[in-house]
Amino acid sequence: IEDQKSLNEQALKRLLALEKNSYLGSGESIAYHDLEIRGGGNLLGQDQSGHIKNIGYALYTRMLEDAIYELSGGKKRLEKSVEIQLGVSAFLNPELIASDSLRLDLYRRLSLCENTDEVGQIHEEIEDRFGKIDDLSAQFLQIITLKILANQLGILKLSNFNQNITITYGDEKKESLKAPSKDDNDILETLLKHLRAQISLKRR
């Protein structure tokens, strides 16, 4: 990030709180982190209800996007954002990238990726600078890749319950997949393989 002083301090703190709670069911913990940082009046906009329980992974991903959006200067955002409701742990691991500012810069750059090649380039850069990428960080990059592919296919939502995966398209059509197991890697790999195959068919 070119000008560290220009960072929105609340957005930075919020993103780091999100990063530490990036697992399914962590929404309530994240919400209270966010309330502590921002104050209760604006977490959910003018319709703030004050009842922040069982909000789950969907709110986590939305808040993560909002924090990254603020850190990127509000210059760019996909008009249609794919809703990710996958029970997987995915974040840039502080044990791999110790510097908060470097991780935040990578979050910002990943949020601006328009194609999977750009994500791949950042993956290579991370390994060049910090060594072999760990599972948690790799899974975050896979989530970014999934969002890009899903946008190209007009998908509104990706969700799962254990190993059962549901893809919801813009016309509300739903497609079901089954991963070999409920493990994070199996869920992500099943989706990546399927969406890449759909992209290949679309290009023929």
The model's pTM is 0.68
pLDDT tens, 4-47?
444 456 666 666 666 555 543 344 343 434 433 333 333 333 33
Q: What is the CATH number of the domain that holds 98?
A: 3.90.1150.50
Pair (88, 159) in one structural domain: yes
Tokens representing 77 are: 């955002």
Buried b / exposed e along 135-157 (16+ C-beta atoms within 10 A): ebbbbbbbbbbbbbbbbeeebbb
Tokens representing 138 are: 């790799």
The DSSP H or E segment spanning 106 is helix 100-111
Angstrom distance (rounded) from CA 189 to CA 193: 6
Angstrom distance (rounded) from CA 20 to CA 94: 9
Domain range for residue 62? Answer: 1-75
Q: What angle do CA 37, 53, 74 make, to 5 degrees?
A: 45
Give 156's pLDDT tier (boundaries 50, 70, 90): very high
* Among candidate residues 46, 75, 104, the one where a domain is terminated: 75
The DSSP H or E segment spanning 176 is strand 174-178
pLDDT, residue 91, reads 83
Pair (115, 183) in one structural domain: yes
Residue 139 has pLDDT above 50, yes or no: yes
Residue 50 has pLDDT above 80, yes or no: no
Pair (87, 52) in one structural domain: no
